Amino acid sequence: MNVVVLIKQVPDTTDVRIDRETNTLIREGVPSIINPFDMYAIEEALRVREGAGEGTVTVMSMGPPQVDVALREAIALGVDRAVLLSDRAFAGSDTWSTSYTLAAGIRKLEDYDLILCGKQAIDGDTGQVGPGVAQFLGVPQVTYARKLTIDDGSSATVERMLEDGYDVVKVPLPSVVTVVKDINEPRLPSLKGKMKAKKAEITVWGSDDLDVDQEELGLDGSPTRVVRVFAPEARPGGTIFEGEVEDTVESLVRELVPILKGDI
Amino acid sequence: MSSIEVIENLCVGCGLCVKACLYDAIEMVDGVAVIKDNCTLCGACVEPCKFDAIILRKSHRETVSLDDFKGVWVVAEQRAGEIHGVSFELLGRGRELADTRGAPLAAVLLGSNLGDAGRQLIAHGADVVYVVDDPALEHYRDEPYANAVAALIDKYKPEIVLTGGTSVGRSLIPRVAIQVRTGLTADCTALDIDDQEGLLLQTRPAFGGNIMATIICPNHRPQMATVRHKVMTALEPDPAREGEVIEEKLAAELFETSTEFVEFVKDETSTVNIAEADIIVSGGRGLGGPENFGLLEGLANALGGAVGASRAAVDAGWIPYSHQVGQTGKTVQPNLYFACGISGAVQHRVGMLSSRIIVAINKDPDAPIFKVATYGIVGDVFEVLPTLTKKLAAEFS
């Protein structure tokens, strides 16, 4: 069972802020991390390999050379191989071109049974690249997976999380499966893994290494464009009640009643 | 190939671009901005530069004849013939966009044994409803649904296509966008038409809601966007409204898939799910244990709301993951959100910041949750919640 995991290096977005006076981004000291949802995808891939008792796990990412750090972190967790798709020509890719490029990278791997990724990245929050890759590869997909069972090597049964429950879906392999946090509990890197990660060789492929149309790459191949970036509207300061429980609750109820009645 | 360039003799080394960069890709070298390899050409530095010293050149080619595309579409969502509320909301906003563009508003409805469900879409503002009714579409499966929507787009060439940002919508529509070779913007919170070129301005939060970005799709059609439930407002349905329902017959090959739908299992732990709820009562570490979630249920039941939770409560195993609000859970935007015993770490706040009214109950007056609260009570949740439930229940009994 050969599993490919698509990962993204993201800024730890919880720390990113806009300076409301200058309307610019404050990102001093914001660390880069592996997208949290991708950590569950890596863990699931390792479990699938362990369950099958054979096969490999390959992590793949598209990005600048700095993504090397994220790929080594994945190797430390037990991943066998890491591939970085990196080229100036990929810069400015939106989800269309990213899906296109990653699909070309996966095709070059030839032998793959399952492609896993997080349900979305925490910087863009689109959740579009997983389905996009599946479409480019012409394979089925299951998004928001909370449980994955490999049936017999040729199909998988997956629980897809929905707003009010879940679907049970059976897909042939290869397929793309995007995972939510509920699917597993990621392991920590081992000391041996960390040693291996230090020495590991990361495969780097540029646009010339892939079977791609140069015009479909990066900003040129991307249908969308960002025209404006700005700070969200600030929330006005609130009313905080302190004191005896009876009084504070009474004050709150007086505020909430007209809201609940739909008057405000 | 597109490129970005710093005009060195215009650059004064002020560093505004360094601050504006979303990716830490600009540095100052000898008083001049230098763009590094990890630049993504996003262009966020161009406008903040007060000296016009940064130029982004985008090479583009016309891929389609834009004038051939007309009309606004809403891809409706249904399960067992019941249309999802987000579809009606999109028709509400879609109606305004269509009127601005002087074009018709259409809905697409896929499924099996749909009866006259299409009429409801007309009552909510659609001029035309394209219905694909086929046994192969009984349950949602990505490939047949995506192929069908793509085939209809190819046939009718709409200018704008809107889809609900539900689990199903967010699975379906990216595949369609790839097939029809166009852009897609997820989870828009505002959709407007630009005065000059008539482009769809798609505004959405990014970086966990810390930043808003406006996105356009200038050279490809249709312009596609998803919008979450309860962001737009549905029109009052008018059963007498006139419109046309068109039954579409598509080639059977489009419905071929080896994906098998086995079953749908309803979440029995909640009667109201947080993604849909108008009122959410959430609890965190401060509740101390699963036995105390009954306090939240008491308030939620009194108000007809749903129960949510912080990551800490979910990780402790007090309540299932489907209730988790926040960065690694669900993003919610109810009318009224109660955060009880939740300190309000930024990972939680990004999941609920768009709620209209936020009520925080916490014994720590310095808890960050109070910074985003509309109303707050500094106090013990175990005392405040029962009292609050009793008083509100009395008001609404």
Q: How many domains does chain A have?
A: 1
How is chain B split into domains, by residue range?
A: 3-57, 66-255, 279-396
User: Considering only alpha carbons, which residue of chain B is nearest residue A238?
Assistant: B374
Structural domain includes residue A227: no
What stretches of A117-200 show up as alpha helix (H) in DSSP? 129-137, 191-199
Q: Is A34 left (phi over 0), alpha (psi -120 to 50) or beta?
A: beta
Name the nearest CA neighbour of B181 among A132, A86, A2, A254.
A132
**Residue A153 scores a pLDDT above 80:** no
CB B284 within 8 Å of CB B340: yes
DSSP annotation of A30 reads P
Residue type, A151: D
A248 touches chain B (CB under 8 A): yes
Report yes or no: B185 and A224 within 8 Å, Cβ to Cβ: yes
- CB under 8 Å to A192, separation ≥6 — which residues? none
Task: Dump pLDDT digits (tens) for B199-217.
Answer: 999 999 877 677 889 999 9
Cα–Cα nearest to B140, from B251, B255, B272: B255
- B137 pLDDT higher than 80: yes
- Per CB-CB distance under 8 Å, the chain A contacts of B187 are 125-126
DSSP state of B330: B
Mean pLDDT along residues B51-71: 79
pLDDT in tens, A40-72: 999 999 999 999 999 999 999 999 999 999 999
Terminus-to-terminus CA distance in chain A, angstroms?
Answer: 58
Instruction: Determine the distance from the C-alpha atom of residue A49 to the mean position of all C-alpha atoms in its chain, rounded to a whole number.
Output: 20
Q: Does A203 touch chain B (CB under 8 A)?
A: no
CB–CB contact B167 A161 (8 Å): yes
Euclidean distance between CA atoms A247 and B166, whole angstroms: 41
State pLDDT tens for residues B257-281: 999 999 999 887 666 688 888 999 9
Report, as an integer, the average pLDDT of B101-117. Answer: 96
Å between A66 CA and nearest CA of chain B? 8
Residue of chain B whose Cα is closest to the Cα of A222: B183
What is the dihedral angle through the alpha carbons of B331, B333, B339, B343, rounded to the nearest 10 degrees?
50
Residue in the block written with tokens 């796990």: A57
Q: How far is A57 from chain B (nearest CA, A)?
A: 24
Which is more confidently placed, B74 or B277?
B74
B334-360 pLDDT, tens digit each? 999 999 999 998 889 888 988 999 999
CATH code for the part of the protein at B279-396: 3.40.50.1220
CA pair distance B97, B199, nearest whole angstrom? 11
**B244 CA: distance to closest CA in chain A (Å):** 31
* Cβ atoms B198, B223 nearer than 8 A: no
Mean pLDDT for chain A overall: 92
pLDDT of residue A23: 57
Say whether pLDDT at B330 is over 90: no
Q: What's the mean pLDDT in B148-157?
A: 97
Please give the Cα distance from A77 to B30 (Å, whole number).
41
Instruction: Give pLDDT tens digits for B332-341.
Output: 889 999 999 9
DSSP code per residue over B67-83:
GG---EEEE--EETTEE
Let me know if residue A146 belongs to a domain: yes
Cα torsion B124, B126, B130, B135 to 10°: value is: -10
* CATH number of the structural domain spanning residue A93: 3.40.50.620
A165–B265 CB contact, under 8 Å: yes
Q: Which residues of A touch B142 (CB under 8 A)?
A: 131, 134, 140-141
Do the chains contact at B213 and A164, CB–CB below 8 Å?
no
Residue A253 lies in a domain: no
> Are A151 and B154 a contacting pair, CB within 8 Å?
no
Identical topology for domains B66-255 and B279-396: yes
Give domain status of residue A97, yes or no.
Answer: yes
Query: Does the domain spanning B66-255 belong to CATH 3.40.640.10?
Result: no
Sorted by sequence, the CB contacts under 8 Å of residue B224 that are 6+ apart come out as B160, B161, B162, B163, B173, B176, B177, B182, B183, B184, B185, B217
Dist. CA B350–CA B331, nearest whole Å? 7
Torsional class of B52: left (φ above 0), alpha (ψ -120 to 50), beta (otherwise): left
Identify the closest residue of chain A to B317 by CA–CA distance: A182
* Across B40-49, B102-111, B116-125, B314-323, least confident range: B40-49
Instruction: Say which of B20, B186, B218 has its CB closest to residue A125.
Output: B186
- Shortest distance, CA A77 to any CA of chain B (angstroms): 21
Residues in chain B: 397
Decide if pLDDT at A21 tops 70. Answer: no
Question: pLDDT-derived band of residue B45, with 50, 70 and 90 as boundaries?
Answer: confident
Give CA angle at A53 (A49, A56), nearest 5°: 40
Give the distance from residue B122's alpha carbon to the nearest chain A alpha carbon, in angstroms: 26
Please compute the mean of the pLDDT values over residues B293-320 and round it to a whole number: 93
In contact, B330 and B298? CB cutoff 8 Å: no
Provide the mean pLDDT of chain B: 92
**Cα distance between residue A258 and residue B346, in whole Å:** 30
On whether the CB atoms of residues B296 and B351 are closer than 8 A, the answer is: no
Strand order in the sheet with B211-216: A225-230, B211-216, B200-206, B190-193
In chain A, which residue's Cα lies nearest the Cα of B378?
A242
Q: Cα torsion for A180, A182, A184, A186, to the nearest 10°?
A: 70
Closest CB to B266: pick one of A22, A128, A164.
Answer: A164
Q: Between B283 and B273, name the one with better pLDDT.
A: B283
- Of all residues in chain B, the percent with pLDDT exceeding 70 is 96
Mean pLDDT of B235-264: 95
Q: Chain B contacts of A228, Cβ < 8 Å?
A: 47, 213-214
Determine contact, residues B134/B254, Cβ cutoff 8 Å: no
Asked if B185 contacts B225 with a C-beta cutoff of 8 angstroms, the reply is: yes
**Residues in chain A closer than 8 A to B258 (CB atoms):** 140, 171-172
Asked whether residue A235 carries a pLDDT value surpassing 80, the answer given is no
Task: Say if CB B362 and CB B369 are below 8 A apart.
Answer: yes
Any idea which fold B3-57 has?
Alpha-Beta Plaits (3.30.70)
CB within 8 Å: A25 and B20:
yes
Rounded mean pLDDT of A119-132?
93
pLDDT-derived band of residue B63, with 50, 70 and 90 as boundaries? low
Percent with pLDDT over 90 in chain A: 80
Name the closest residue on chain A to residue B63, using Cα atoms.
Answer: A223
pLDDT at A24 over 70: no
Q: Do B377 and A227 touch (CB under 8 A)?
A: no
Structural domain including A197 reads 3-221
Binned at pLDDT 50, 70 and 90, residue A124 comes out as: confident
Give the pLDDT mean for B20-32.
Answer: 87
